[in-house]
């Protein structure tokens, strides 16, 4: 989390990949909100690479000397859900180079929505909803490095999808 804070405070960035460790420090979460930063998250890749957070008393915390690390093995445990739903951070999803070991974005979305048998989510878990997917996509459209006209075209297509599926 301290590295995320350093990036946010020193670089003129508008988006940062991954960033799930922000959950270790609520000051970092608040700073991300205040500077209107978008986090591009790849939950499955994080799990595949050994997602862990520093914890104290069973909750994420800023790293301390001798602090414990908690490794997460299940998709539903990923900080994505907490950062997006509880802390209302601006998040979008990414594929993280599927050609060289990443995961296609469709697979990530399917898994978060409970539609991929490879990733089981507990009974009663609040799956990703169409409305949330629309928000993630809008956040992504706003964060991409592209001409305003291309962003506008994408948002128009997205608007049609939202009208059809999310309302």
pLDDT tens, 60-71? 777 655 668 888
Task: In whole angstroms, give the CA distance from residue 51 to residue 46.
Answer: 5
Residue % of the chain over a pLDDT of 90: 35
Residue % of the chain over a pLDDT of 70: 93
Summarize the confidence of residues 82-109 as an average pLDDT. 87
Q: CB–CB of 25/37 below 8 Å?
A: no
- Work out the pLDDT band at 14, boundaries 50, 70, 90: confident
pLDDT at residue 82, as a whole number: 93
pLDDT at residue 128, as a whole number: 94
pTM of the model: 0.86
């Amino acid at each position: 989390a301290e590295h995320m804070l350093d990036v946010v405070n020193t670089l003129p960035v508008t988006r940062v990949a991954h960033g799930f460790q922000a959950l270790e420090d609520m000051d970092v979460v608040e700073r991300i909100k205040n500077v209107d930063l978008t986090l591009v998250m790849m939950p499955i890749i994080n799990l595949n690479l050994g997602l862990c957070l520093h914890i104290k008393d069973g909750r994420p915390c800023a790293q301390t000397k001798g602090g414990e690390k908690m490794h997460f093995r299940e998709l539903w445990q990923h900080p994505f859900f907490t950062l997006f739903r509880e802390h209302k951070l601006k998040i979008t999803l990414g594929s993280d180079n599927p050609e060289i070991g990443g995961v296609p974005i469709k697979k990530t979305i399917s898994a978060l929505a409970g539609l991929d048998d490879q990733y089981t989510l507990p009974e009663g878990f609040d799956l990703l909803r169409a409305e949330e997917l629309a928000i993630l996509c809008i956040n992504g459209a706003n964060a991409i490095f592209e001409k305003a006209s291309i962003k506008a075209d994408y948002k128009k297509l997205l608007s049609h999808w939202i009208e059809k599926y999310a309302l």
